[in-house]
């Protein structure tokens, strides 16, 4: 490898003492020679601080003090970032073996790319559940509308983040989706480098926000899309993305058995404005909906 770009990782944490040691070990054990690691703890009352102290010699900066939540913690960590590439890693997730070296190879081989996306392994106490699927579709409108985000395996060039930061401290659940949507509006998807390499592991457990706060997530997500559509009402790509968002939402509602709400959402979709893949998904949802209401 001709060079080792500096990779900056912020680990936001609060009362994750049972997991954070594994998180930090997954980073440090890779022995990547140019890792910049920050740990921002929100004043944990469990054993988190004791665990952080064990790894302190490998951490550029760490603090344990009351903050305003995860997004605020990430922004605090960003103030110390000096690397070429940035991501945050939640204190119950992990980076997979070899991921930092693979990321450096992607960076060196693709100088004109500013976002590097790999796969994520979803796992729980019983082991691997599945790996993530690609989140970038054929058109930026489709990618924007479907809004699939794979945050643990999404590494941004720091110089591309200048226009996108800070993260919105008011967001508790969807700060990663907000960053992704704003990136797509600003840059499109031509500067994205995708890899099938599994870069990260996302842990499902009873106390994780993803498991325990599905409804708050949806409310934040809906507000983000409403703001996106309002702010960029004259942006053709954003407006073209909305039918795909409605499709995604209809599919989600139908999967929850909310047939009336799914039908209402599907009725908002202009079929003729969809691409071929979108039309296929529309027909599939429509057929499932017809079976449900019989």
Q: What is the DSSP secondary-structure string of 25-59?
A: HHHHTT--TTEEEEEEE---SSSHHHHHHHTGGG-
Residue 29 lies in a domain: yes
- Do 208 and 281 lie in a common domain? no
Residue 284 lies in a domain: yes
- Do 20 and 152 lie in a common domain? yes
Residue 34 in this model has a pLDDT that exceeds 70: yes
Residue 126 lies in a domain: yes
- Do 269 and 193 lie in a common domain? no
pTM of the model: 0.94
Where among 212, 246, 273 does a domain terminate?
212
Assign residue 142 the CATH number of its domain: 3.90.550.10
- Do 22 and 106 lie in a common domain? yes
Q: 288 is in which domain, residue-wise?
A: 232-293
- Do 149 and 179 lie in a common domain? yes
Residue 89 lies in a domain: yes
Where among 144, 179, 212 does a domain terminate?
212
Query: What is the pLDDT at residue 73?
Result: 98
- Do 199 and 60 lie in a common domain? yes
Residue 1 lies in a domain: no
User: CA nearest 214: which of 261, 177, 173?
Assistant: 173
Q: What are the tens digits of pLDDT across the range 199-221?
A: 999 998 776 655 555 678 889 99
Structurally, the chain folds into a number of domains equal to 2
Residue 222 lies in a domain: no
Q: Count Cβ atoms within 10 A of the Cβ of residue 249 and give its class: 0-12 exposed, 13-18 middle, 19 or more buried.
A: buried
- Do 136 and 36 lie in a common domain? yes
- Do 147 and 267 lie in a common domain? no
Q: What are the tens digits of pLDDT across the range 124-161?
A: 988 889 999 999 999 999 999 999 999 999 999 999 99
Residue 46 in this model has a pLDDT that exceeds 90: yes
Residue 171 lies in a domain: yes
* Mean pLDDT of the region 2-17: 95
- Do 157 and 243 lie in a common domain? no
Instruction: Please check whether residue 194 is in contact with residue 136, taking contact to mean a CB–CB distance below 8 angstroms.
Output: yes
- Do 35 and 161 lie in a common domain? yes
Residue 289 lies in a domain: yes
- Do 249 and 187 lie in a common domain? no
Residue 169: DSSP 8-state: T
Distances (CA, A) of 201 to 29, 93, 192, 287, 293: 15, 6, 21, 35, 39
Lookup: tokens for 268: 């908002």
Question: How many CB atoms sit inside 10 A of residue 280's CB?
Answer: 11
Q: What are the tens digits of pLDDT across the range 185-202?
A: 999 999 999 999 999 999
Q: Which residues contact 238 (CB under 8 A, 6 or more apart)?
A: 144, 185, 228, 229, 232
Three-class DSSP category at 86: strand
Where among 177, 212, 247 does a domain terminate?
212
- Do 165 and 278 lie in a common domain? no
């Amino acid at each position: 490898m001709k060079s080792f770009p500096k990779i900056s990782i912020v680990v936001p944490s609060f009362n994750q003492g049972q997991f954070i040691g594994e998180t930090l070990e997954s980073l440090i054990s890779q022995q990547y020679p140019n890792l910049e690691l920050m740990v921002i703890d929100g004043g944990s009352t469990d054993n988190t601080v004791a665990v952080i102290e064990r790894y302190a010699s490998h951490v550029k900066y760490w603090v344990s003090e009351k903050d305003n939540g995860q997004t605020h913690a990430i922004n605090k960590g960003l103030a110390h970032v000096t690397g070429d590439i940035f991501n945050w890693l939640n204190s119950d997730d992990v980076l997979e073996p070899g991921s930092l070296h693979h990321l450096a190879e992607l960076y060196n081989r693709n100088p004109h790319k500013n976002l590097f996306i790999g796969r994520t392994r979803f796992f729980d106490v019983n082991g691997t559940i599945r790996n993530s699927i690609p989140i970038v579709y054929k058109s930026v409108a489709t990618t924007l509308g479907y809004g699939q985000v794979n945050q643990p395996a999404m590494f941004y060039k720091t110089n591309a983040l200048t226009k996108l930061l800070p993260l919105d401290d008011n967001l508790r659940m969807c700060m990663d989706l907000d960053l992704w949507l704003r990136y797509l509006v600003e840059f499109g998807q031509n500067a994205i480098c995708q890899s099938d390499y599994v870069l990260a592991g996302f842990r499902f457990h009873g106390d994780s926000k993803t498991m325990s706060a599905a409804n708050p997530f949806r409310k934040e997500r809906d507000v983000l899309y409403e703001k996106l559509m309002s702010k960029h009402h004259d942006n053709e790509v954003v407006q073209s993305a909305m039918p795909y968002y409605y499709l995604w939402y209809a599919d989600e509602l139908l999967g929850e058995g909310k047939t009336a709400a799914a039908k209402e959402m599907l009725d908002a979709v202009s079929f003729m404005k969809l691409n071929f893949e979108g039309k296929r998904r529309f027909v599939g949802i429509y057929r499932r909906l017809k079976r449900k209401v019989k």
